[in-house]
Amino acid sequence: MDSLRNHLLIAMPSLNDTFFERSVIYLCDHDKQGSMGLMINRPIGVNVNELLKQMQLEDYQTIESINTEVLLGGPVAQEKGYVLHTPQNIWSNSRQLTDDLMLTTSRDVLTSLGSNKAPENFIVALGYAGWGSQQLEQELADNAWLTIPAELDILFNTPHDERWTKAVQSLGFDISQLSSQIGRA
């Protein structure tokens, strides 16, 4: 199995009326044990500035960015925060995902947001999407998802409500022409 780590999962139209309808998920991990990712296009209605204020942090600046909305990362552990960001090796509980991305789960990165110590680009999400061993592979075989290599432009420069459309457009064909049925010869 080739790893889909550092890929985007794009929900197929067949996932309408489900939790993952029109979702785009950045895959942080994908191996024989399972998969873990963050949904990157579903704001929860709270922005990072409000979150920082609720955390009663001192000395933070108001953040002006398209990524200031806190996102719903997925249905699992929604009380836990994740920050997907450009690399900085100064946070506890950080993992280097690629040369361009890190995932941090500690409060210290949140305290940096709005300061000169903040990562250049970041996404704050609550919860994650997870799949057990071979579960994602089965969903891919069932035509629930399409995949593309992750693009930093989609992650950090595209407004949330345009990420699914932009990811679909990068496939190079009209997704509405696809059938959700599995073909058999």
Q: Which residue has the higher pLDDT, 51 or 105?
A: 105
DSSP 17-86: TSTTTT-EEEEEEEETTEEEEEE-S-EEEEEHHHHHHHTT-SS-PPP-STT-EEEE--SEEEEEEEEEES
Confidence of residue 91 (pLDDT cuts 50, 70, 90): confident
Tell me the pLDDT tens digit for each residue of 62-90. 777 666 899 999 999 999 999 999 998 78
Report, at the CATH architecture level, how domain 7-177 is classified.
3-Layer(aba) Sandwich (3.40)
Domain segments of the chain as ranges: 7-177
Tell me the pLDDT tens digit for each residue of 23-32. 999 999 999 9
